[in-house]
A and B are shown apart, each in its own frame.
Chain A
Amino acid sequence: MSAICERVRANLPAYGRESLEAGPRREVREHLAGCSACRAEAASIDPVVLFGTLSPEAVSSADVASVVASVRAGIALRQAEGRIARRSARLHRAESGRRGIRAAAAAAVVLLTLVVPSGLQPPPAGNEKAEVRRAPSAEFSTVAGPDGAARASGGATVYDWNPGAGEPRVVWIVDGSLDI
């Protein structure tokens, strides 16, 4: 038995306890890889030590090429997914903008529908009843007549349109002294 065999065998227990320095540790590993007698000795003391002599499995150039090709394809796929995601985000933003414009336009139409006809067509004199589309609300009950239009002070007429069910209520006052 050579001197190195003796040294390696003496160091085997310390190797298994993780208490060897890097140099002697490397020596044990390298020696065990090539010395069958010391391998048998190591196996009888601590078989786990032998796992350290396992050389990394050979990876063929075909394996490497296959991994490189798969990674390349994976990156291309991720980039394509990124482009699609960015494009659909842009489309979503544009669609949101269009929806906003449509909603604003609809609101404007509703407002005009509610306000403009009554504003442009004041009730004919002496026939205020025709202009009141709903019964006046409680706020005007003290001045309202039975026909639904309220006579406010100073000759003004209060018109109250209250469609109910969450719809906005519209109140307008027509001053009888104004020529509109």
Chain B
Amino acid sequence: MELVYSEDRRKLEAAQATDRELVAETRRGDMLAFEALVARKTPAVIAIARRVVGDGEDARDVAQMVFLRVWEQLDRYDDAYSFNTWLYRIATNLAIDFLRSARSRERAHGATLHLVRQREESSVFETTRAAEDGELARLFERVSHRLSGKQKAAFVLREMQECDTREIAEILQCGESTVRNHLFNARRILRREIERLHPGLFRRSRKS
């Protein structure tokens, strides 16, 4: 009875602790602290992975890999820096790796998959409700397929996680000018893909 009470109390304390405190406790071998950290950060990690890899199930797999990597490399984390930056770096790197391997698997599948996708593309957006959230999310998945891993990660971090270019540069371990290039190219490719796949879609939405 005392043990149960003690574990509940520790969980409560862990839930109230800061990221840095949880990291410090984890380094001392406290698994409850680490699990609290995982529970706290899972939604953000899944959100990033979801947008980069384009699939919810894959995003959960990536999230698991991310936290295993965090656990293995926690000694390398310098707590002078933001834990989120370090975590997002691991998350984007693993998501990009996952995306690359998924794309190479797709290439192996070849023309069949391409035909399936083309059929899917031609059957969507027959209404002007494209700006609605669900449709918009599906549109992003479809058109962002043309982005490189880094372009996609930069765009997701900027637009969906509201990171500034300095933070994205730290996460992607590149210069801010490179981040701006990635963002510029990502927007250009996304615009071109929207126009290619759904010509006039948004111009129609304005008239309606």
Q: Which residues of A approach B to under 8 Å, CB–CB?
A: 16, 18, 22, 26, 29, 36, 39-41, 43-44, 46-48, 50-57, 59, 63-68, 70-72, 74-75, 78
Contact = CB atoms under 8 A, between A and B. Distances in A.
Contact of B137 (A57, A64, A71, A75): A57
Contact of A70 (B44, B46, B64, B191): B64
B183 interface: yes
A72 B36 CA distance: 12
- The range of chain B's interface size is 35 or more
Given A67-B38, A67-B60, 15 more contacts: A18-B180, A43-B202, A43-B205, A47-B201, A47-B202, A50-B136, A52-B159, A54-B137, A59-B46, A63-B42, A67-B64, A67-B67, A68-B35, A74-B64, A78-B68
A57 B154 CA distance: 18
Interface string B59-70: 010011001100
Q: Give the residue among A18, A54, A66 with the most B Cβ atoms within 10 A.
A: A54
Contact of A46 (B35, B183, B191): B191
B56 interface: yes
B140 to A, nearest CB: 5
A26 B164 CA distance: 11
Judged by DSSP, the binding face of B is: helix
B15 to A, nearest CB: 13
A26 B72 CA distance: 36
28 contacts: A29-B162, A40-B208, A43-B202, A44-B203, A44-B205, A44-B206, A46-B191, A47-B191, A48-B187, A51-B140, A51-B190, A54-B133, A55-B133, A56-B43, A56-B47, A57-B137, A59-B43, A64-B42, A66-B60, A67-B42, A67-B60, A67-B67, A68-B35, A68-B39, A68-B42, A71-B64, A75-B31, A78-B72
Nearest to A77: B68
Contacts of B205: 40, 43-44
Judged by DSSP, the binding face of A is: helix
B42 A43 contact: no
A59 B42 CA distance: 8
Nearest to B156: A51
